Amino acid sequence: MGSYGMLAKRAVLTDTPVMVQIQELLRGVKGAVSLAQGVVYWQPPRTALEKVQELVWEPSISRYGADEGLPELREALTKKLREENNLCKSSVMVTAGANQAFVNIVLTLCDAGDSVVMFAPYYFNAYMAFQMTGVTDILVGPGDPNTLYPDADWLEKTLRETKPTPKLVTVVNPGNPSGTYIPEPLLKKISDICKNAGCWLVVDNTYEYFMYDGLKHSCIEGNHIVNIFSFSKAYGMMGWRVGYIAFPSEVDGFAAQLLKIQDNIPICAPIISQRLALHSMEVGSQWVTDQVKDLVKNRELLVDALSPLGEGAVKGGEGAIYLWAKLPEKFAKDFEVVRWLANKHGVVLIPGSPCGCPGHIRISFGGLVEADCRLASERLKKGLEELVRDGMV
Ligand SMILES: Cc1ncc(COP(=O)(O)O)c(C=O)c1O
């Protein structure tokens, strides 16, 4: 029934979600292990879950709440932003996850036809958020070939020379899909370039607690900066759908416009989920850090599994839950490699193409406990050895 002609171009011309394709692949391969989805293996803190279990009969749980989020959660978040992130002049809106936060921000700040800037490899859902809102002029900047840090010189030149000036620049810190973190001096430099050009900077801090090797995540604040956060990975709350936006309090009209978007999409984030978020925060961020530190072992196993790709092929991984690897030159068709690895070796990854980098793969080290990760890395290593030696036979 019907034809594509009857469907909105904004949807039809938006990329197909890679996770949906990969989930289909996973369902089709019996016994496959997944290094694909960006998830963590833990559940929310036990005491927080127990408190929420008792809440379901409370009438307020079944009603709508304030669009901006429960006052007590926003208060706790304002304190957290001030104490942990050094963000003192930001207002908070609670959303149904960081992805919804990002769409809210794009709808609040960008008009169809505006140009925006991302850096490769980029987060596919952010790219899709632009596409589906008519912000189709997406300028993709390079990363440093060794560190994958966003190229600030390219940014400066691009913002200076592109007319009209791009409306918004976005980065993920530490990154999805690369796991690369952005050192504070570089983040400040990017921020200054955006400020001087009259352009917004949106920083996705979903993985703020996922830092390794003594590195420290930092945020910056300004009247041209929006910071996005998520409860999904930190507190193992993927399915509860809670994230939040820290936006500049001093910018006239920002809150009012953001509220219009929020009121038309979720109205409010699920109330029970917000209560769980609050109780999880009461347990504290040290709990998150304790979970995260064990992921180093998974990362080690997977770095070894990727060794057949050769020296210099594996990048990132100093933050978030991802390693990023280049396939040998002749395997630019990364979807084919991912399918082959799934079907022949029972291990599933994400191809680099949906992140703007064909010929690459993303490996997630957050979703499996160490024993399962060991199995996945054995399969991956065997598969990659075979790929490099014999091709996809
Ligand atoms: C960079 C980044 N932003 C946002 C999200 C989505 O998070 P949420 O579950 O809070 O919507 C993810 C999930 O993988 C992510 O990696």
Task: Give the mean pLDDT of 326-343.
Answer: 96
Please tell me the predicted confidence (pLDDT) of residue 276.
98
Are 92 and 146 within one domain? Answer: yes
Give the confidence band of 2 by pLDDT, cuts at 50, 70, 90. Answer: low
Average pLDDT over residues 31-45: 96
Q: Which of 283, 311, 328 is the last residue of a domain?
A: 283
Are residues 128 and 141 located together in one domain of the fold? yes
Does some domain include residue 2? no
What confidence score (pLDDT) does residue 317 get?
96
Out of 283, 303, 337, a domain closes at 283
pLDDT value at residue 95 = 98
Q: Which domain holds residue 302?
A: 9-43+285-390
pLDDT in tens, 276-287: 999 999 999 999
**Domain total for the chain?**
2
User: Do 143 and 266 share a domain, yes or no?
Assistant: yes
For a mutational test of ligand 1's pocket, the pick from 35, 125, 231, i.e. the residue with the most ligand atoms closer than 8 A to its C-beta, is: 125
Same domain for 170 and 110, yes or no, is yes
Residue 97: band (very low, low, confident or very high) from pLDDT cuts 50, 70, 90: very high
Burial (CB count <10 Å: 0-12, 13-18, 19+), residue 389: exposed
Q: 99 C-alpha to center of ligand 1: Å?
A: 6
pTM greater than 0.85 (yes/no):
yes
User: Are 385 and 299 in the same domain?
Assistant: yes
Evaluate whether residue 3 is within a structural domain: no
**Choice from 100, 122, 123 to test ligand 1 binding pocket (greatest atom count within 8 A of CB):** 123
4 pLDDT higher than 90: no
pLDDT of 94 > 60? The answer is yes
Whether 51 is covered by a domain: the verdict is no
Give the chain's mean pLDDT.
97
Residues 330 and 212 in one domain: no
Whether the per-residue pLDDT at 3 is higher than 80: the answer is: no
125 and 229, same domain (yes or no): yes
Nearest to 104 by CA among 213, 228, 262: 262
- Which CATH number is 206's domain given? 3.40.640.10
Together in a domain, 207 and 145:
yes
Residues with Cβ within 6 A of ligand 1?
A: 38, 97-99, 123, 172, 176, 204, 206, 230, 232, 238, 243
Domain end among 225, 256, 283: 283
Are 140 and 223 part of one and the same domain? yes
Q: Return the ligand 1 atom nearest residue 123 CA.
A: 1
Is residue 1's pLDDT more than 60? no
Q: What number of other Cβ atoms are within 10 A of residue 313's Cβ?
A: 17
Sign of CA dihedral 330, 180, 234, 78: negative
Sheet with 314-315, edge to edge strand ranges = 314-315, 322-326, 360-364, 350-351
pLDDT in tens, 166-224: 999 999 999 999 999 999 999 999 999 999 999 999 999 999 999 999 999 999 999 99
Q: Are residues 198 and 329 in the same domain?
A: no
